Amino acid sequence: MNRLRIIVLSFILLCLSCSSLHPDRPVFKKGDFSGAVSVLDSIIRSNLEQQRIPGAAVALVHEGRVIFSQCYGYADTKKKVPITEDTYFMAGSLTKSFTALAVLKLIEEGKIDLNANIKKYIPDFSIRNLYDGEPLITVNHLLTHTSGLMVDYYAHLTGGKKYSNFDLLSQLRNEYL
C-alpha cells in the first residue's frame, strides 16, 4: 500500500513538472538511471519549492525494481514532522484517473461497451429524473462526468462510515439527476 502511494505521488509530481522541462534538458541513454535520478530529484525539489508543496514521497520503479526512492519535506510543517515512507497521503480525486484507466482497458478488451446503459453492469442502479421516464446513463457519461449525477449527492456520504454497494444504490434511488 505504501508503494502505491509513493508511485501515485511520483506520477503527480512528474505531471506537475512537465511544464518545467526545458527543451534543452539532458537526454539519457536507456538504462542510464543515475543521470535520470539526478534530474528527477532536481525536478522534484524545484517543483516542491515553486508550487509551495510541503512535501512528497517519490519512488521510481523500473521493471519491478525500485531504482529511486526519496522523501521530501514535512507531513506536518508546524511540528516539523518529516515525511517518511510510512506517511499516509490522501488519494482524493486521483482515484478517478485509475478507475477510468481500468474501465478503458476493459473497453479495449471488449468486456465493457462505452455506450451501454450502466444498468447492463449495475442492474440495481436507479435514480429519479425530474422529467418523465427513466434516464439513460451510459459508461461514457460516467467517465466524462456528464451523467447528470449531482456533486452534492456525495456530501452526506462523507465521514468515517463505510457503505455497502447495496446501501449506496439504495441512497441513490432517493436522489435526482
pLDDT in tens, 143-160: 888 888 776 656 566 666
- Label residue 167 by pLDDT band (50, 70, 90): confident
Mean pLDDT across the chain: 80
Which position has the grid cell 481500468?
A: 102
Residues of the domain holding 45: 2-82
Do 132 and 105 lie in a common domain?
yes
Note the pTM of the prediction, 2 decimals. Answer: 0.54
pLDDT one-digit tens code per residue, 125-147: 888 888 777 788 999 998 888 88
Which whole number is the average pLDDT over 109-125?
93
Residue 29 has pLDDT above 80, yes or no: no
How many domains in the chain? 2
Closest among 40, 37, 34 to 17, alpha carbons compared:
40
Active site residues: 93
Q: What is the CA radius of gyration of the chain?
A: 21
Whether 70 is covered by a domain: the verdict is: yes
Together in a domain, 113 and 135: yes
Domain boundary among 82, 114, 135: 82
CA atoms within 13 A on the CB side of 110: 0
Evaluate whether 149 touches 177 at the Cβ level (below 8 Å): yes
